[in-house]
Amino acid sequence: MKAAVIYKNGELPQYIDFPDPIVENENHALITVKASAVKNLDKNIASGKHYSALEKAEAKVVGGDGVGLLEDGTRVYALGLTGMIAEYAIVDKNKMVKIPEGLDDCTASALPNAVAGSAMALRFRAAIQKGETVLINGATGVTGKIAIQLAKYYGAKRIIVTGRNEQTLKTLLDLGADEYLILTQTDEDFISQFKIIHANTPIDIIIDYLWGHSAELILNSLKGNGAFTHKTRYVSVGSMAGDTIQLSASILRSVDLQLSGSGFGSWTKGEMKKLIDEILPEMFELAASKKLIIETVSIDIKDIQKAWDMNIPDGKRLVITI
């Protein structure tokens, strides 16, 4: 079969012939892949930088999930047991979702990672309730845009977003955001604006895709002075702005703060099952009826080497078609 293969961590994938995967377990199935989205997660795993990446470098097909056809012609989204940017892949029968009619392959392959990166944080880590105020730090990316839409869908009363590009931030108002904070302003101005917002409409939930200095600013903005404080659930999902921060112990002591993370390893088996059995089918139906929007850029697998480091417009997901 043709596949996108990396022989050494950090190298660009090559479009080459690779042995067909073989089904060796009755709980596994062979899928003819039609589309697979390229996420930062895929790139970090391929480079060996992600905490879930194998330490030993070996030839491997890239791509963690995708859309394709089972032997009986059923179109499904599935998590790959073998790399998914290939003509064929092995998938777990218990981790597949049937795709509704009216939803194209590219959208169906791009949506699940963004849903996992937003719905799992909102529902299970933050336990969002109707009428709450949500702040999304780093909302201009693909997952941030989905988080806005899902926060609104789950009943958020008010949604505040942050980002570096004011023009892009303004477009998020059309997706359901109510107000935005620009990360390029001075630290003092950011903290001042944040405190005003928090005083007027106390922030219940913070979903953070950036971490780094922006997280330091937000946490410093929440710092109390000894008086009773509003409880805020802060969920770290990504670290696009840096993997470490300086966190004063006085912040944790002075504010009613719940600090947690959402990602592989933090989710329970029950939560993962709900993602596959309940959340993704619901999100696919919303997308099929145009009530959930994600933008994609599609590239043929033969151009994988060029596509891998391609500069994709902010807020759009690269999808490799096979």
pLDDT on residue 95: 94
Same domain? For 92 and 216 the reply is no
Compute φ and ψ for 243, nearest 5 degrees.
-90, -15
Query: Is 271 contained in some domain?
Result: no
Query: Is 186 contained in some domain?
Result: yes
Instruction: Determine what percent of the chain is predicted with pLDDT higher than 70.
Output: 96
Same domain? For 25 and 157 the reply is no
Residue 309's alpha-carbon distances to 38, 102, 111, 218, 223, in angstroms, are 10, 30, 20, 31, 40
Residue type, 195: K
- Is the pLDDT assigned to residue 10 strictly greater than 60? yes
Query: Is 227 contained in some domain?
Result: yes
Residue type, 136: I
- Count the alpha carbons within 13 Å of 27 in the hemisphere toward its beta carbon: 5
Compute φ and ψ for 137, nearest 5 degrees.
-90, 110
Query: Is 278 contained in some domain?
Result: no
Task: Out of 209, 243, 261, pick the residue that ends a domain.
Answer: 261
Residue 300's alpha-carbon distances to 34, 41, 85, 134, in angstroms, are 10, 20, 10, 38
Query: Is 288 contained in some domain?
Result: no
pLDDT on residue 46: 74
Mean of all residue pLDDT scores within the chain: 95
User: How many helices (H) and strands (E) in the chain?
Assistant: 10, 15
Same domain? For 81 and 151 the reply is no
Q: Specify the pairing of strand 88-98 against strand 75-80.
A: antiparallel
Query: Is 110 contained in some domain?
Result: no
- In 3D space, the residue among 272, 271, 211 whose CA is nearest the CA of residue 247 turns out to be 211
Query: Is 270 contained in some domain?
Result: no
Task: Out of 218, 246, 261, pick the residue that ends a domain.
Answer: 261
SS3 content of the chain, % helix, strand, coil (to 5): 35, 25, 40
> From the CB of residue 202, how many other CB atoms can be counted at a distance below 10 Å?
14
Same domain? For 255 and 127 the reply is yes
DSSP state string for 12-37: PPEEEE-PPP---STTEEEEEEEEEE
Q: Is the dihedral of CA 265, 45, 142, 213 positive or negative?
A: positive
Taking the C-alpha atoms of residue 147 and residue 153, their distance in angstroms, rounded to an integer, is: 10
Query: Is 179 contained in some domain?
Result: yes
**What is the CATH classification number for the domain harbouring 29?**
3.90.180.10
pLDDT digits (tens, 9 = 90+) for 162-210: 999 999 999 999 999 999 999 999 999 999 999 999 999 999 999 999 9
Terminal-residue alpha carbon distance, the chain: 11
pLDDT on residue 269: 95
Same domain? For 83 and 146 the reply is no
pLDDT digits (tens, 9 = 90+) for 70-128: 999 999 999 999 999 999 999 999 999 999 999 999 999 999 999 999 999 999 999 99
**What is the CATH classification number for the domain harbouring 146?**
3.40.50.720
- Band of the pLDDT at 260, cuts 50, 70, 90? very high
> What is the residue range of 81's domain?
2-98+294-321
pLDDT digits (tens, 9 = 90+) for 274-291: 999 999 999 999 999 999
Q: What tokens does 309 get?
A: 């480091």
When divided into structural domains, the chain yields a total of 2
Taking the C-alpha atoms of residue 226 and residue 221, their distance in angstroms, rounded to an integer, is: 14
Model's pTM, two decimal places?
Answer: 0.93
pLDDT on residue 49: 58
Contact at 8 Å (CB) between 295 and 172?
A: no
